[in-house]
Amino acid sequence: MNKDLIKLFPSINNAILNHTPVILTPAPPSAKPVGCGIYLKTQKSRYLISAGHLLNIQDWKGLIVPSGGTKVLNLNGVLATTFQDGNQSDDIDFSLFKFSPRMNKHFDDQQWKFITPEQISTNHILDDEGYYFISGYPVSGVKKVAGKAEFKPIPVKFITETVDQKTYEKFGFNRDNFILVKYKRKVIPLNSNLPQITKELKGISGSGLWHVPDFNDKDENGISKYYLVGIMTENHKDKGFLVAVKIDFVTELIIQLFQDLSFEHTKFNITDKLREIIIDHDL
């Protein structure tokens, strides 16, 4: 791996974490993390993107999300999801929550940075020679702060690559709808020559899969531009890979359900699946 590229990885992963809130259930006097999401803001609305088994019809009204500092919010708005409850099985596993307009004032936009449509890459063609990034807060990495009604999430930062075509075929995934990336529990950390065991990735569902097409293309902060291409949904670590649903399912839903024209239509055939979306609201 190119040593010059390695130097860029930490800043990319850290920036991604700013878009990746922990989703929680209240557990007074603190809260219990159950997974992750991605904050998105268009000119029209604010959204929370996550996995369908996490934001499902049965459980979503009992979840809370961070808004800045130590503040958390109940979810008020409209949910569109592929899951009725967290126990059902479906490879197309995603959810989209549109915040009620009255919730906007509760976000300080300092600690949590909402991505914009320009940071999402639809119609993504898999980059078999490039790198993909996963940053989030696995449940196994969360520690309760002793004597305080707080918890301290410890992030995992993961750099990976796509699997080969044979893996897609063997396990029944197609490249139009899914991105499969390699998972190795034993990795060489950045700036080290010694392998170590990574955290268990339980609870990483709902976080993003991000791609950097050109490490020389940097933003105003000198960070290589990264783009959201998928939502992490399944952990097939025993088979050596992790699964992400392509972000096109979400962007197409934003267009068709919420009439938010911030994105171009996907070129992939996903319309049939969108007919199975379940909708609920709490305004």
| CATH class given for the domain over 3-282 | mainly beta
CA distance 234 to 69: 30
**HEC letters along 8-67:** CHHHHHHHHHCCCCEEEEEECCEEEEEEECEEEECCCCEEEEECCCCCCCCCHHHCEEEE
227-236 sheet: strands from edge to edge: 156-160, 132-136, 208-211, 227-236, 241-246, 178-182
- What pLDDT does 194 receive? 36
> What's the pLDDT band for 189 if we cut at 50, 70, 90?
very low
pLDDT(142) > 60? no
Does the pTM surpass 0.85? The reply is: yes
Q: pLDDT by residue (tens digit) across 84-123? A: 998 888 889 999 999 999 999 999 778 899 999 999 999 9
Choose among 18, 86, 32, 113: nearest CA to 233: 86
Q: pLDDT by residue (tens digit) across 206-251? A: 999 999 999 999 999 999 999 999 999 977 878 889 999 999 999 9
- Is pLDDT larger for residue 74 or for residue 109? 74
Q: pLDDT by residue (tens digit) across 242-265? A: 999 999 999 999 999 999 999 988
